[in-house]
């Protein structure tokens, strides 16, 4: 690695597995001190141990971002303390995905999904961005989704939360950018963590047919984009949603 995030500090929510874990590992490999955050202490400890074994810097801060302002503020405060007083990079990755149809979604589920996917990053950003600005700047990266812009017949609730996150990305870029805080988002396509010996096809593979990539992606694809957005290489990038989706939302491949 090239040390693009050397001496930076980062908080990655929902980073005990999958995309969040890949981002935390990539940040640490590029020189950042990373707070791994999530509800599962054992999985968090495993991620931290792996980063430290590779000579990276990481600590686990347990958090249940339930959408309350208090939970988000507590997460920000404990992460700042762990990172020596400042957060240079925030990745709003934590989220939940109920795949039910609209008519099968009850009000309790609706409220919980919006709490975790929208309210939690909203109040966490509110708790982190002003301190970033006072420290001279920073970078915030939100995780959107391809289903925010391409309708599919299931998961309308989840899709709408990711649409909200992408809208917030542009609004926050306008609000915090003049103070030196860059806000951008990544919109992943179908991302699958493959396991050794896995032979059964993943259900998401069907959704990537007819795309330029022709297959699902892995978490590392998202992590590479996150490193770029967090680094000085993206210093002129504000309010952008970077599609890392194998071409799902931008191109169609027509085959005979």
Instruction: Looking at the chain, list the stretches that DSSP marks H as alpha helix, in order from N- to C-terminal side.
Output: 18-29, 41-53, 69-82, 107-114, 120-134, 156-176, 219-230
- What gap in Å lies between CA 39 and CA 201, rounded to an integer? 29
Instruction: Note the Cα 78 to chain centre separation in Å.
Output: 19
- Asked if residues 115 and 96 have their Cβ atoms less than 8 Å apart, the reply is no
Closest listed residue to residue 127, CA positions, set 59, 166, 84, 176: 176
Provide the β-strand partners of residue 183.
Answer: 140
In angstroms, the CA 47 to CA 207 distance is: 30
Q: Which of 158, 225, 230, 243 is catalytic?
A: 158
158 is catalytic: yes
Q: Bridge-partner residues for 38, per DSSP?
A: 62
Closest CA to 9 of 138, 148, 159: 138
Task: Give the separation between CA 234 and CA 141, rounded to whole angstroms.
Answer: 12
Q: Which two tokens stand for residue 229?
A: 């957005």
Residue identified by tokens 């050794």 is: 196
- DSSP assignment string, 137-193: -EEEEEE--GGGTS--SS-HHHHHHHHHHHHHHHHHHHHHGGGTEEEEEEEE-SB--
Instruction: Give the residue numbers annotated as catalytic, written as ranges.
Output: 158
């Amino acid at each position: 690695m090239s040390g693009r995030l050397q001496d930076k500090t980062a908080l990655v929510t929902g980073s005990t597995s999958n995309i969040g874990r890949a981002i935390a590992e990539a940040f640490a490999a590029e020189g950042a001190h990373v707070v791994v955050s999530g509800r599962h202490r054992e999985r968090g400890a495993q991620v931290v141990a792996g980063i430290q074994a590779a000579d990276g810097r990481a600590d686990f801060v347990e958090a249940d971002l339930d959408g309350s302002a208090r939970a988000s503020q507590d997460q920000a405060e404990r992460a700042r303390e762990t990172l020596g007083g400042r957060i240079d990079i925030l990745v709003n990755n934590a989220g939940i995905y109920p795949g039910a149809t609209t008519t099968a979604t009850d009000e309790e589920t609706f409220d919980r999904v919006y709490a975790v996917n929208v309210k939690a990053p909203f109040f966490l950003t509110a708790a982190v961005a002003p301190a970033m600005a006072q420290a001279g700047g920073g970078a915030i990266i939100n995780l959107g989704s391809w289903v925010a812009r391409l309708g599919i017949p299931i998961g309308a609730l989840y899709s709408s939360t990711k649409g909200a996150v992408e809208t917030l990305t542009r609004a926050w870029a306008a609000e915090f950018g003049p103070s030196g805080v860059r806000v951008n988002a990544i919109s992943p396509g179908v991302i699958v963590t493959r396991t050794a010996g896995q032979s059964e096809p993943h259900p998401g593979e069907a959704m990537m047919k007819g795309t330029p990539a022709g297959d699902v992606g892995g978490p590392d694809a998202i992590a590479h984009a996150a490193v770029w957005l967090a680094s000085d290489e993206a210093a002129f990038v504000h309010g952008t949603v970077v599609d890392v989706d194998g071409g799902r939302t931008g191109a169609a491949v027509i085959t005979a």
